[in-house]
Amino acid sequence: MRRLTCRRWAALALALVCGLGMLCAAAVAAVDPFFHYHAPDPEGEVWFDQRAQGAGLLRTQEYETVFMGSSLAANYRAFWFDVFYDTTTVKVTFPNGSFAEFGQALDYAYSCQDVRRVIFGLDPNLLARDPAEAPSQLPEYLYDHNPFNDIAYLLNKDALMRSAYTVMKKDAGEVQNIQDAFVWDGNVFFSRELALGSYERPETVSPMAPADALLENCRANLSVVQGWLEAHSDTEFIFYISPYSILFWDKMQRTGQTEAMLALLEETARTLLAYDNVQLQFFMNDYDTITDLDNYADHLHVAGRVTYAMAQSMPTGEHCLHLESYREVLDDLRQFVVNYDYERIWAQGA
């Protein structure tokens, strides 16, 4: 072997870093685990990262409806909306997502397709969160059309490892079709025992939090949503509020936040219903559903049979709130959750 001089060492080092770097980039481009260069195979793909692969879905699919939300929205299948609304739908969900992230993804969707309708799972817990504490985890280099940003995808440790993971899973035949992507029915089970088992009942707090305790955060988050409504006034926005279980209201009661949460819902309805291009579908008052804990995996996440029924009912508008009547609906909910005999939940299990 020839002696390694400084000159030869430097040349070899540069050549190897460049060569191996290009090899890594080529491997990522070929496998393309985040669907940046090719559309996913609808019959079988490896799904593992909603934020990274969401960009690929928005970029490569053809759609006029965007279905979007947090983990509560993940348990829907896009083709339900294709059927119920006679449309083409892409589903993009970000667990614990922030409104800034959803806004960025929406902007990207508008830059990719002619979006006519947005169906958005509006999660009151996320509305109540301080925007400063919300995550910002979208891989930005995937959510734009700048080809120079692709370098951050191609020369990326995560993407490289995910490429290897994708190849391994495909070799093992462990793939899912696109409709099952990120759906947790099948991986997660729903029963009264599981819902109660994962619920830590808080100690009772007094006094109650003031009714405006959550309003500042709610208004800050809603202002982001209002930006979407004003920027895309031709788009039909269908917001829906998922049926949190009665355990959620038990938590609100015991932590003294019932009035604050109801005020948040009222603020949300008042703000959004002022827009002509908005529908607000409200499932929190589906009392049969929320009191039947067999529908839940925990105090929030609801089974596929319920999400299917909700999706089916959306086009009928039967759960829509209206400017004239939303206060009555919320008053009715207040009466229900304030007067509910929460001890019954545990007595039933005894």
Q: Nearest distance from residue 252's CB to another protein, in Å? A: 25
What is the phi-psi region of residue 79: left when phi exceeds 0, alpha when psi lies from -120 to 50, beta otherwise? alpha
**Do residues 303 and 185 touch, judged by C-beta distance below 8 A?**
yes
> What is the binding site for another protein (CB under 8 A)?
4-10, 12-14, 16-17, 20-21, 24, 139, 141, 148, 151-152, 155-158, 160-161, 164-165, 168
Count the neighbouring beta carbons within 10 Å of the beta carbon of residue 140. Answer: 13
Our CA angle for 262, 264, 269, nearest 5°, is 95
Total residue length of the chain: 350
Q: Nearest distance from residue 125's CB to another protein, in Å? A: 20
Q: Nearest distance from residue 281's CB to another protein, in Å? A: 36
Q: Which CB sits closer to another protein, 8 or 327? A: 8
Q: Which CB sits closer to another protein, 187 or 206? A: 187
DSSP states of 44-69: -B----HHHHHHHHHHH---SEEEEE
- Which of 329, 327, 316, 320 has the alpha carbon at shortest distance from 280? 320
Please, which contacts does 339-342 make with residues 24 or more away whose CB atoms are closer than 8 Å? 340/246, 340/249, 342/246, 342/249, 342/250, 342/253
**Do residues 296 and 245 touch, judged by C-beta distance below 8 A?**
yes
Cα(172)–Cα(167) distance, integer angstroms = 9
Q: Which CB sits closer to another protein, 49 or 82? A: 49
Q: Which CB sits closer to another protein, 29 or 208? A: 29
Q: Nearest distance from residue 109's CB to another protein, in Å? A: 23
Q: Which CB sits closer to another protein, 160 or 246? A: 160
Residue tagged 């939303």 (tokens): 326
Q: Nearest distance from residue 7's CB to another protein, in Å? A: 5
Q: Nearest distance from residue 17's CB to another protein, in Å? A: 5
Q: Which CB sits closer to another protein, 13 or 205? A: 13
Q: Which CB sits closer to another protein, 165 or 336? A: 165
In eight-state DSSP terms, residue 188 is B
Q: Nearest distance from residue 41's CB to another protein, in Å? A: 21
Cα(123)–Cα(105) distance, integer angstroms = 17
